């Protein structure tokens, strides 16, 4: 029962780390030579994470819903993008793109928070036998 909450917690950790990384990118948008970073999720962990969430009633129910961002202690890492350049000074941060990624990540984080809240409400209901 608490495994789902633990999985959701790991996803929250990755989303929180991603927010920190994306915010750092935006803060350095005008720093010459700065290279943006992002959080990369391992495919193995991603599929396992999604499968566990679906098994416990947390699923992407419509193709237009945002895809899962996943995450875990062993399933994600921060990487820098050295392959692109946006400006002559070597900086590769596109503020519009970073803001869109922050908004997407925020929606993902909020959906995980809601899933944790629902799970904890159901546990509380089971403990109190539905009395409150």
Tens of pLDDT, residue by residue over 12-29, are 889 999 999 999 999 999
Per-chain mean pLDDT for the chain: 81
Domain-located, residue 35: yes
Domain-located, residue 36: yes
| 77 φ/ψ angles, rounded to the nearest 5 degrees | -155, 160
**93 contacts 28 by C-beta, under 8 angstroms:** yes
DSSP the chain: -HHHHHHHHHHHHHHHHHHHHHHHHHHTTTSTT---EEEEE-HHHHHHHHHHHHHTT----STTSPPP----TTTEEEEE--S--SSTTS----HHHHHHHHHHHHHHHHHHHHHHHHHHHHHHHHHTTT--
Domain-located, residue 95: yes
Where does the pLDDT of residue 70 fall: very low under 50, low under 70, confident under 90, or very high at 90 and above?
very low
For residue 73, pLDDT over 70 is answered with no
Domain-located, residue 122: yes
Structural domains of the chain, count: 1
Q: Which domain holds residue 102?
A: 2-127
pLDDT tens by residue, 36-53: 999 987 655 556 666 666
Q: What mean pLDDT do residues 76-96 have? A: 92
| 61 φ/ψ angles, rounded to the nearest 5 degrees | -95, -5
pLDDT for res 72: 38
Domain-located, residue 49: yes
Q: Between residues 95 and 76, which one has the greater pLDDT?
A: 95
Domain-located, residue 20: yes
Domain-located, residue 132: no
Q: What mean pLDDT do residues 66-95 have? A: 77
Domain-located, residue 7: yes
Question: What is this structure's pTM?
Answer: 0.71
């Amino acid at each position: 029962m608490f495994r789902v909450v633990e999985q959701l917690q790991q996803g929250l950790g990755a989303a929180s780390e991603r927010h920190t990384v994306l915010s750092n990118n935006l803060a350095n948008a005008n720093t010459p030579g700065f290279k943006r970073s992002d959080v990369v999720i391992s495919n193995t962990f991603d599929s396992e994470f999604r499968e566990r969430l679906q098994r416990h009633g947390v699923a992407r129910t419509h193709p237009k819903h945002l895809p899962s961002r996943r995450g875990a202690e062993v399933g994600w890492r921060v990487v820098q993008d050295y392959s692109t350049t946006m400006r002559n000074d070597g900086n590769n941060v596109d503020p519009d793109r970073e803001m869109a990624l922050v908004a997407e990540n925020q929606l993902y984080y909020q959906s995980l928070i809601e899933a944790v809240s629902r799970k904890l409400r159901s546990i509380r209901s089971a403990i109190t036998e539905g009395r409150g």
